[in-house]
Chain A
Amino acid sequence: MNDDFLIVDNVSKSYVGVHALKNVDLKISSGSIHCLVGENGSGKSTLIKAIAGVIPIDSGEIIINGKTYTHLHAIDSIREGIQVIYQDLSLFPNLTVAENISLIQMVEERKKFISWNEMEQIARRELDRIGIRLKVDDLVEDLSMANRQIVAIVRALTQDARLIVMDEPTTALTKGEIDSLFSLISDLKNNGISTLFVSHKLSEVLAISEKVAVLRDGMMVGDFETSDLDTNRLVFHMTGKEIVHSIFQYQGKKSGEPPLLELKDLTKKPNYSDINLSLFRGEILGITGLLGSGRTELALSLFGLNRPESGQIWIDGRFQTMRRPGDAIRAGISYLPEDRHSQGLFLQQSIGNNLIVTILSRILNKLRVISEKKKLESMNRYVRELRIKTPTLDTPAESLSGGNQQRVLFGKWLATDPKIFILDGPTVGIDIASKSEIHQLIKKLAQGGMGIIVISDEINEVFHNCNRILVMKNGRIAAEVDPQHTTEQELTDLVEKKNGVAS
């Protein structure tokens, strides 16, 4: 029986000599729940965009509902019933919920005039269908992340969608909201609507899907039955390698040694409240929790970008006020931000410039002018120490791979000789090989006496790299965990359960 709704047949796509997709095949049947996985750069987003008709393919065919397309346009894809919800949700923040939900339908119906009543009706009807209550007159920019996600999904459903593609939909959702999403996907299945779910969270992939398609380097490694897979197998298909984990050993603090960093009753509503923690030399402290738990907001406060309302920050026994990053840097704190591209790197500037931006005052000569010699010395030193793969110092930062870019960021901060290094999502979007190298680097730095805080979503990462883990929930520290005396599963449960009761 051939009820494949979508067939991607031998599709290839290159961008000026680079193969983004190479002879990719994929079959999605009606009413199925399919996942697409792959590392960064594997071609997932290119495949999605090709299916959506947003980019043209070089060769091969896309067959939707039995109809063959060699040149698929966005409007055709939409008409055939394919709806894509991108990671950024593609909503219009300045427009209302009603407009966002009904606009695509209006474009697709080639409407010339709009009736506000009609838009409102469509929106209410669709929201009711899912059983969600939202005020249709609200501007999307005023909604919470989870509600925005709902608007995006409802929008996708308005058009008799047959296939809904979701790109990393759970990154901003709480556990409860993820469960609701999953049951929504099951409902869709029961109505004959297929879902293609792109995610890097392997546990979720294995939980929800019936089949998993794995992309590696632009080629389809295989389309597997989920029942035949486990995490290790999946990682192996995605990377072609086996990974080995090693646990971090903390040397323990010397007696009487004061903490490197101490936070007392630090509060900034509504981000976080009553934070008390200490960090000692040589420790790697992990902070984990769901999105919205206040982790990054806390880190930003330590770096001078989010002034706390009350409480104290003590560094090496001295009280500090952080009003701007300059204060934090002077106090010995470095912060590696979550968003590498917009907060960390100057993409079009040279790697050399990216490396020395934090130590400009140190590479001046007697006349307060930049000393070429000191500048080059610093640049070369960090390229060497961190093994940054680049042909020259002048190469723009944007041409490096994710792993190398992260090394540049490490270099720029290590140049300031920090006492405390806060890493926010240090291995997000980095290939597995570089990931473990970065973990090695972090452990080495701790062994050298630096105090490190690792903020991460990935239980796996904090478990194997920290000697102590704090779990934050709703702006408070909910628990402290010692990886040597707990299991990963227990930690995961702690993070995901609500208010002390397992859901």
Chain B
Amino acid sequence: MLDKLLKKHETYLFLIIIAYAVVVTSVNRSFMTFENLFDILRSGAGMGILAMGVLVALLSGGIDVSFTAVAISGGYIAVRVIMATGVDNLFAAFAISCSIGIVLGLINGLIISYFKLPTLIATLGTLNVFHGALTTFVGTESVNARQMPSCFVNFGSAKIITLVSEQGSKYGLSVFVIPLVAVIVLTWFILRFTMLGRGIYALGSNRESAKRAGFNITALQLFVYSYIGFLAGVMGVVFVSEVRWVNPVTLIGTELTVIAAVVIGGTKLTGGSGTILGTLLGVAIVTILYNTLVFLGLSAAWNNFFVGIIIIISIGITSYRNRIKNRKSLSFKT
């Protein structure tokens, strides 16, 4: 039992987090507080939602880098539409954002499955197309906190649990964890309990075999990319509510960080292998690093430095172990 645990990638990630927590707490006690924990959860919720989508894409043997453009399109358009129509309802916001997400995701899916384009390059293209289209056709007006419709503002500040700190200030666990948990459960359910999920694993594992087994490859791919689009739509609303200020040029540029988090979590780029727990741990590591280096007295300027090192080490270890395994079986697939 113990050595099976030691073999798992997730165990090491967990240990890294614990080690880091211990180090930071010894420097600054305020790391180990609920306030901090709630803060981390709130910041990481968005990335967590997107990471579930990236996980599904990687499992199917592909990759998607366009999701930030989809997220900001969904979020921004939802805000503008609500402002224009006055329907100040959070569910409407999600509906609008997610529908846009699904449509954009379908576009990705169609291009990839019909033209069989390499997924990295295709989605790099759509990232720019979606973003360009958003800014050119919808506009680049910012919407600031005063103008933001109340449904978003309320969503952003709502809390599930509210506690009072030693200094008397109130803090709480943001409502954002609800969509996060919902997305995690939904993804878990699809991957573990449906044929769709098995199909995604099969596709990523061995595309030709999946075809021969009777899986509909096109349908699977369309699902994968629209699912990411859907999740991006959810995240778009969360993002807009968190930041309480939205401009179509934000969020883009963070996609590679999300992918890095998923990969740190042990998901293989080649497909068919990856877990939800691993992904969540990867997101946790990245979020914690981004948010808490300040406890060590390091400014935010050091974020990328440490995240970069963690990525290199983590990927280095998994790749090297993989290489040793290949060498043992004399498989020369480099």
Q: Is the CB of B193 within 8 A of A114?
A: yes
The residues of B that contact A78 with a CB separation of less than 8 Å are 214
Question: Which A residue sits closest to B206, measured CB to CB?
Answer: A92
Chain B residues numbered 257-294 whose CB sits less than 8 Å from any CB in chain A: 272-273
Inter-subunit contact B214/A108 (CB<8 Å): yes
Distance A395 CA – B74 CA, assembled complex (angstroms): 51
The reply to whether A90 and B205 contact each other, CB–CB distance below 8 Å, is no
Contact B214 A74 (CB under 8 A): yes
A99 interface contact, C-beta 8 A: yes
Q: Which residue of B lies closest to A73 (CB)?
A: B214
- Is B213 an interface residue when CB atoms closer than 8 A count as contact? yes
Contact across chains for B330 and A103 when beta carbons are under 8 A apart: no
The complex places the Cα of A305 from the Cα of B213 at a distance, in Å, of 36
Does A94 have its Cβ within 8 Å of any Cβ on chain B?
Answer: yes
Closest approach, in angstroms, between the C-beta of B228 and any C-beta of chain A? 21
A103 touches B212 (CB 8 A): no
Bound CA span A439–B205, Å: 40
B212 x A92 contact (CB < 8 A)? no
User: Are A112's CB and B212's CB within 8 A?
Assistant: no
User: When the two chains form their complex, are residues A106 and B272 in contact, meaning their CB atoms are under 8 A apart?
Assistant: no
User: Would you give the shortest CB distance from B329 to chain A, in whole angstroms?
Assistant: 10
Contact status of A103 and B332, CB under 8 A, knowing A78-B214, A92-B272:
no
Instruction: Please classify the interface of chain B as helix (H, G, I), strand (E, B), loop, or mixed, using the class held by over half of its residues.
Output: helix
Chain B residues 187 to 206 lying within 8 A of chain A, measured CB to CB, are: 193-199, 201-202, 204-206
CB distance from B269 to the nearest CB of A (A): 13
Interchain CB contact under 8 A, B209 and A90: yes
User: For residue A90, which residue of chain B has the nearest CB?
Assistant: B209
CB within 8 Å of B: which A75-115 residues: 75, 78, 84, 86, 88, 90-95, 99, 103-104, 106-108, 111-115
Nearest CB of B to A152, in Å = 10
Q: For A74, list chain B residues within 8 Å (CB).
A: 211-212, 214
Within the assembled complex, what's the spacing in Å between the Cα atoms of A198 and B214? 22
- Cβ-closest chain A residue relative to B328: A270
Tell me whether A306 and B213 are in contact in the complex, defined as CB-CB below 8 angstroms, given that A93-B206, A106-B195, A112-B195 are known contacts.
no
Within 8 Å of chain B (Cβ to Cβ): is A283? no
Tell me, in angstroms, the Cα distance from A286 to B46 when the chains sit together: 64
- The answer to whether B206 touches A90, judged by C-beta atoms less than 8 angstroms apart, is yes
With A305-B332, A306-B330, A343-B332 as contacts: A90 and B213 at CB distance below 8 Å: yes
In the complex, the answer to whether B209 meets A114 with C-beta atoms within 8 Å is no
Please report which residues of chain B, range 170-229, place their CB below 8 angstroms from some CB of chain A when the two chains form the complex. 193-199, 201-202, 204-206, 208-215
The docked-state distance in angstroms from the alpha carbon of A103 to that of B198 is: 8
How many Å from the CB of A198 to the closest CB on chain B?
16
A90-B211 Cα distance, complex, nearest whole Å: 10
Question: Are A107 and B213 in contact, CB atoms less than 8 angstroms apart?
Answer: yes
Contact residues in A for B193 (Cβ distance below 8 Å): 113-115
Residue A52 interfacial (CB < 8 Å): yes
- Among A86, A88, A90, A111, the most chain B Cβ lie within 10 Å of the Cβ of A90
A337 to chain B, nearest CB (A): 9
Contacts of B214 in A (CB 8 A): 74-75, 78, 104, 107-108
Task: Give chain A nearest CB distance to B60 CB in angstroms.
Answer: 12
Known: A54-B211, A90-B213, A92-B272. A112 touches B202 (CB 8 A): no
Chain A nearest CB, measured from B175 CB (Å): 30
Cα A108 to Cα B214 in complex, Å, equals 7
| Size band of the interface chain A makes with B | 20 to 34
* Interface 1/0 per residue, A128-155 and B, CB below 8 Å: 0000000000000000000000000000
Assess the A112–B194 pair: CB atoms within 8 A: yes
- Tally of B interface residues using CB under 8 Å: 24
A294 vs B196: C-alpha distance in the bound complex, in angstroms?
42
Chain A residues whose CB sits within 8 angstroms of the CB of B202 once the complex forms: 92, 95, 103
The answer to whether B195 touches A104, judged by C-beta atoms less than 8 angstroms apart, is no
Interface centre among A86, A113, A115 (most CB of B within 10 A): A113
**Quick one: CB contact mask for B319-334 with A, threshold 8 Å, 1 for yes?**
0000000000010100
CB atoms of B212 and A90 under 8 A apart: yes
Q: Is the CB of A111 within 8 A of B206?
A: no
Asked if B213 contacts A103 (CB within 8 A), the reply is yes
Query: Which residues of the partner chain A approach B195 to less than 8 Å between Cβ atoms?
Result: 106-107, 111-114
Write out the residue numbers on chain A whose beta carbons fall within 8 Å of the beta carbon of B213.
90, 103-104, 107
List chain B residues, Cβ under 8 A from A306. 330
Roughly how many angstroms separate A111 CA and B197 CA in the complex, as a whole number? 12
Chain B neighbourhood of A113, CB < 8 A = 193-195
Considering the chains assembled together, what is the distance between the CA atoms of A436 and B205 in angstroms? 40
Q: Which residues of A contact B208 (CB under 8 A)?
A: 88, 90
A300 within 8 A of partner (CB): yes
Do residues B272 and A94 form an inter-chain contact, with CB atoms below 8 A? yes
The smallest C-beta distance from A305 to any residue of chain B, in angstroms, reads 7
* A residues near B197, Cβ cutoff 8 Å: 114
Chain B, residues 141-180, CB within 8 Å of chain A (1/0): the string is: 0000000000000000000000000000000000000000
A297 at the binding interface (Cβ < 8 Å): yes
Question: CA A104 – CA B208 in complex, angstroms?
Answer: 14
Contacts of A114 in B (CB 8 A): 193-195, 197-198
Which of chain B's residues has its CB closest to A74's CB? B214
Check A52 against B198 for contact (C-beta < 8 Å). no
A93 CB contact (under 8 Å) in B196, B205, B212? B205
Residues of B contacting A305 in the complex (Cβ-Cβ under 8 angstroms):
330, 332
B212 touches A84 (CB 8 A): yes
Mask, A295-306, CB within 8 Å of B = 1, is 001001000011
In the complex the two chains form, what is the Cα distance from A63 to B86 in whole Å?
Answer: 63
**Nearest CB in chain A: distance from B196 CB, A:** 8
- A106 and B214 CA atoms in complex are apart in Å by 10
Task: Report how far A86 CA is from B214 CA in the complex, Å.
Answer: 14
Q: How distant is A108 from chain B, measured CB to nearest CB, in Å?
A: 6
Chain B's nearest CB lies how many Å from the CB of A66? 22
Q: Distance in Å from the Cβ of A139 to the closest Cβ of chain B?
A: 10
State how many angstroms separate the Cβ of A115 from the closest Cβ of chain B: 8
Which of B201, B206, B215, B330 interacts with A91 by CB under 8 Å? B206
Known contacts A92-B205, A107-B199, A107-B213; 14 additional CB pairs below 8 A are A74-B211, A74-B214, A90-B208, A90-B213, A92-B201, A94-B205, A94-B272, A95-B205, A99-B198, A106-B195, A114-B198, A297-B330, A300-B330, A305-B332
- 18 A-B residue pairings within 8 Å (CB atoms): A54-B211, A75-B214, A90-B212, A90-B213, A92-B205, A94-B272, A95-B198, A99-B198, A103-B198, A103-B202, A103-B213, A106-B198, A108-B214, A111-B195, A113-B194, A113-B195, A114-B198, A297-B330
Which residues of A are at the interface with B, using a C-beta cutoff of 8 A? 52, 54, 74-75, 78, 84, 86, 88, 90-95, 99, 103-104, 106-108, 111-115, 271, 297, 300, 305-306, 343
